[in-house]
Amino acid sequence: MVSSSFTLVVVTNTSTILLRNMQTLSAAHFWKLGHQVSFFKALASRITVSDAKLYTIRLEVYKGTSMDIKCIILITDFLGSAKKVVDLSVHS
């Protein structure tokens, strides 16, 4: 499935810089057929780490659905936030 042209692999990371007023840096790299097709980095200040992680995942899903993709594989270290994004009961 990973080698399919309809599969997008997304690798994410979110870090907080404590010395700079709790600034949070989110980054995501998008891979398709073994090649990086896109990436983004976003810096936010005065935001919790969990909110920044949730924002990163939402951007990834938005980016993936804007492409001709049938499957998004998300590689992340924040599973709790990922579950919140796909839980429809929270958003309805």
Measured between alpha carbons, how far is residue 75 from residues 5, 18, 53 in Å?
18, 25, 12
Q: Is there a domain that residue 77 lies in?
A: yes
Q: Which domain holds residue 32?
A: 7-82
Number of domains forming the structure of the chain = 1
CA distance 19 to 14: 16
Q: Is there a domain that residue 16 lies in?
A: yes
pLDDT at 48 > cutoff 80: no
- The mean pLDDT value for 44-68 works out to 78
- Helix (H) or strand (E) holding 64, with range, is helix 49-66
pTM: 0.69
Question: Which stretch, 17-21, 33-37, 41-45, has highest mean pLDDT?
Answer: 33-37
Residue type, 68: D
The CATH number assigned to the domain holding 45 equals: 3.30.420.10
- The mean pLDDT value for 69-79 works out to 80
| Beta strand pairing call for 35-44 and 7-17 | unpaired
Q: Which residue has the tokens 């005065």?
A: 46
| Start-to-end CA span in the chain (Å) | 31
